[in-house]
Amino acid sequence: MQLTPMAPKCGVEVSGVSLANCTDAEMDNIRTTIYEHGVAVFRDQEFSPEDHITFGKRWGGVDVNKYFPISDDFPEIALVKKEADESTNIGGAWHTDHSYDQIPAMGSVLVARDLPPSGGDTQWAHMGAAYDALPDDLKAEIEGLSAFHTADHVYKEDGLYAQTDMGKNLRGQHVRTGATHPVVIRHPQTGRKLLYVNGGFTINFVGQTREESLPLLQRLLDAAVMDDNQCRLQWKPGTVAIWDNRTSWHNALNDYAGHRREMHRITLSGEPLAA
């Protein structure tokens, strides 16, 4: 397995491994790689839906996203798709997946199935690098703070998606979520300090209202996506990305109007988070 950085602080491209046939040692290597770098990208993979599910189960538990459409034939596979005549995409703002769960998903294995002729890239940002770059006074201010996360405003009957043309495709409008996590977590495996608030699902700091929380929250969100924390992936047929939701945030670019994009996602189970 060879690792090539995608950017100075986030992401690596991994070559010399076939995900559908990898050994246990390679699997362990991939785990360590994404824990550290946030996302790993694999090119030219032959990776059928069956291979995708087998790989996810080998990794550990599989979570099923409560909102995304699921494949009829493969209920473990969430469909992240936008039709040519639709305008709103899934994941089109900086976020990390499932932080609204008290035991959030560790990460995802995303496979490109149908790509637009150009555009539809995905960006990731490294939350260890983001934390390290915070000024000392900001680090001191968030020490010991926790925050409340939910997805209700995004997915409920009259939520953000319901007001768009993606609303009709989603499930789970009646699901209610809520979780509390430290603002700075330690990565469960590497021990690295990571900023763990995000613009998608973090509402307020515990003990403060939304209004009281917003100025500090906004400072953190702005600091988290400074350019040199980021990497960007141009998908091709056969590209697979595996990311760690604790180490990284991601953002799906929506710049391919008039074209279809379909990705298959398997969500990997995680563990409780601690400061």
Q: Which residues bind ligand OGA (CB under 6 A)?
A: 80, 90-91, 97, 108, 110, 122, 250, 252, 263, 265
80 binds, among Mn ion, ligand OGA, none (CB under 5 to 8 A by kind): ligand OGA
* Helix H or strand E encompassing 215: helix 210-224
Q: Judged by CB, which is closer to ligand OGA: 252, or 273?
A: 252
Residue 198 in tokens: 């995000």
187 binds, among ligand OGA, Mn ion, none (CB under 5 to 8 A by kind): none
- Rounded to whole angstroms, the Cα distance separating 109 from 19 reads 11
Q: Judged by CB, which is closer to Mn ion: 22, or 62?
A: 62
Compute, in degrees rounded to 10, the torsion defined by CA atoms 203, 205, 208, 210: -20
265 binds, among ligand OGA, Mn ion, none (CB under 5 to 8 A by kind): ligand OGA
263 binds, among Mn ion, ligand OGA, none (CB under 5 to 8 A by kind): ligand OGA
Q: Judged by CB, which is closer to ligand OGA: 110, or 183?
A: 110
Smallest distance from ligand OGA to CB 119, Å: 11
Smallest distance from ligand OGA to CB 68, Å: 8
Smallest distance from Mn ion to CB 252, Å: 7
* Amino acid occupying residue 43: R
Smallest distance from ligand OGA to CB 191, Å: 25
DSSP bridge partners of 251 = 123
At which residue do the structure tokens 């030219």 appear? 44
Q: Contact positions toward Mn ion, by CB under 5 A?
A: 91, 97
122 binds, among Mn ion, ligand OGA, none (CB under 5 to 8 A by kind): ligand OGA
Smallest distance from ligand OGA to CB 56, Å: 14
Q: Judged by CB, which is closer to Mn ion: 91, or 182?
A: 91
The candidate with the shortest Cα–Cα distance to 243, out of 145, 136, 109, 122, is 109
CB 35 within 8 A of CB 189: yes
81 binds, among Mn ion, ligand OGA, none (CB under 5 to 8 A by kind): none
Neighbours of 274 (CB within 10 A): 9
Q: What are the backbone dihedrals phi and psi of residue 216, each rounded to the nearest 5 degrees, phi first?
A: -70, -40
Q: What is the CA radius of gyration of the chain?
A: 18
Coarse DSSP helix, strand, coil percentages of the chain, rounded to the nearest 5 percent:
25, 25, 50
Q: Give residue number: closest CB to ligand OGA.
A: 91
Name every residue whose Cβ is closer than 8 Å to that of residue 133 and which is 6 or more positions away in sequence.
Answer: 223, 226, 229
Smallest distance from ligand OGA to CB 221, Å: 17
